[in-house]
Amino acid sequence: MVQHYTAVSAAIKDKMDLAIGVAVGSSMQIALLVTPSMVLLAWFIGADMSLFFNTFETCILFIAVM
């Protein structure tokens, strides 16, 4: 929530480098921390979840990071 506020306020102040850096950093945190954590939690509770993404999901994740 704070990262979104920071990105928006930086964009309003015409500091687009900072706004894009904050937005990309937030996306990378989700991709690199939350997703693997959810997979480990799913294994622990016995749910079927893996890090196997189909081609479309892989392309979308790649585009989002770029």
Sequence-separated (6 or more) residues with CB below 8 Å from residue 25: 3
Task: Look at residue 20 in the predicted model and tell me its pLDDT.
Answer: 92
Sequence-separated (6 or more) residues with CB below 8 Å from residue 51: 35, 36, 39
Burial class of residue 22 in the structure, from the number of CB atoms within 10 Å of its CB (0-12 exposed, 13-18 middle, 19+ buried):
buried
Residue 1 has pLDDT above 80, yes or no: no
Other residues' Cβ atoms within 10 Å of the Cβ of residue 55: 7
Q: What's the domain range around 9?
A: 2-65
- Token pair in block for residue 52: 């196997």
- Is 0.85 topped by the overall pTM? no
Give the tens place of pLDDT for each residue, 17-49.
999 999 888 888 888 888 888 888 998 999 888
Max Cα-Cα span within the chain: 48
Number of structural domains found in the chain: 1
